Amino acid sequence: MSSPRPTLILPIFPLPDVTFFPHTLLPLHVFEARYRAMVVDALARDRRLAVVRLRPGFEAAYAGKPAVRDVAGAGEIVSWERLANGRYNILLKGEWRVRLGRERPSDTLYRLVEAHRLEDAPPAADAAPVLARIRAACARLLAALGRPADLLDTALADGQAPGVVADRIAAAVVPDADLRQALLETLEVDRRLARLADALDALVRELSGGRG
């Protein structure tokens, strides 16, 4: 029996409609004082933080501690630029899905939360058919948008775990914030792939005026 993974202590960056997937890069412009302080402290430690989506109705409590989703993306700041006005441009590299737990008492302007890494449940069956469906839908989607046919080649490349392909395509293509969050929370790779394929087909139909 495997031992439980250690508890992580992560600063959280709550945002309204941003979903941070593992295996992806996320550029962010950091302008609020509390999150500028978070970046400074993270750079002095291990450069890691979690990006979590705010729950609906967050506006009333935004200046304090608004409610956030239970599952977030966590990763490392891999590049950063401090601007003359004290703001930051940072680039995050997604490493893990995490489930957020108890908030730690802290004297920081930002919030520190206990978190546990979540692992994918690998496909129970051959994922090749649904991956082929996803690749075909992406090709139709790029054609409908008039974008270069090779735009998603890196995300769709052979040799990656099926869950990685799902995460990279969801981050790059899926416009609906609720669906992105649902895909982030789906640990069963079979279900994640199927739901992504359905969403891509629906998006293609929408862009094609209901055809195909």
Q: Indicate the pairing of strand 8-15 with strand 48-53.
A: parallel
> Which pTM was predicted?
0.91
The CA angle 168-79-118, to the nearest 5 degrees, is 45
Phi and psi (nearest 5°) for 100?
Answer: -80, 140
pLDDT for residue 1:
44
Using alpha carbons, select from 166, 150, 148 the residue that is nearest to residue 97. Answer: 166
| Level-2 CATH architecture, domain 8-118 | Roll (2.30)
Domain residue ranges in the chain: 8-118, 128-207
pLDDT for residue 56:
83
Taking the C-alpha atoms of residue 54 and residue 108, their distance in angstroms, rounded to an integer, is 20
SS3 75: strand
Mean pLDDT, 10 residues at a time, the chain of 212 residues: 72 94 97 95 96 81 79 98 95 98 90 96 94 96 93 94 97 95 97 97 86 53
pLDDT for residue 57:
72
SS3 36: helix
